Amino acid sequence: MTSILETAVRIEISETDFDVNAELSKMRVGRADIGAICSFIGLVREANLGSRVSSMTLEHYPGMTEKTLRNIVAEASQRWPLQAVTVIHRVGKLLAADNIVLVLVASAHRQAAFAACEYVMDFLKTDAPFWKQESTENGVHWVDARVSDTAALQRWNQN
């Protein structure tokens, strides 16, 4: 399988919000070969582990973040025939219900788009150097990594 074109991959770390429709338009412009686009949007959930989250601050490792996300997308494009991928992750201060992350995956058929979208999110969760600090009624604390995120990777090792 040939790798995805470098020009069809868009990786962005942003302090400002993203516009899902604008990103979909950018991905589709001039492309009649795309048959399916799968999107994932991660949001700031108010309730986390019994606390009420009013805001969170996201920190990242500039340079390594982009490199890691590019590698994840490259790996995904080795597994499925992908035509375009967009990953936008916000950093800085976010409020409850704000967007955190957008993943768009385009392919000729839906199966590849669905699977690759999940794959990119699963590896983003465990490999991309982002850290969340939550503000709740009980104070400010760094979010712990979840064992379930690491467990989610196992399905990708089996096929």
Partner 1 sequence: MITILFFASLREALGVNREQFDCKLSSVTDVASLIEALRGRSAAFSEALAPTRNWRVAVNQEIANTNTPIASGDEVAFFPPVTGG
Residue among 83 and 134 whose Cβ is closer to partner 1? 134
- Indicate the residue among 107 and 125 with the shorter CB distance to partner 1: 125
Nearest to 99 by CA among 25, 8, 7, 21: 21
Q: Per CB under 8 A, does 144 bind partner 1?
A: yes
Q: From its phi and psi, is residue 39 left (phi > 0), alpha (psi between -120 and 50) or beta?
A: beta
Report which of 118, 120, 144, 1 is spatially closest to residue 70, judged by C-alpha positions.
120
Q: Which residues in the 90-119 window bind partner 1 by CB under 8 A?
A: 100-101
- Binder to partner 1 among 63, 97, 154, 157 (CB under 8 A)? 63
Residue 53 Cβ vs partner 1, minimum distance, rounded to whole Å = 13
Nearer to partner 1, 37 or 124 (CB): 124
User: What residues have CB less than 8 Å from 87, skipping those under 6 apart?
Assistant: 10, 11, 12, 69, 73, 101, 102, 103, 120, 124
Per CB under 8 A, the list member of 20, 48, 126, 156 interacting with partner 1 is 126
Q: Which of 10, 11, 23, 42 binds partner 1 (CB under 8 A)?
A: 42
Q: Which residue has the tokens 């790798």?
A: 3
Q: How far apart are the first and last CA of the chain?
A: 16
Give the residues lining the site for partner 1 (CB under 8 A).
42, 58-61, 63-64, 67-68, 89, 100-101, 121, 124-133, 142-146
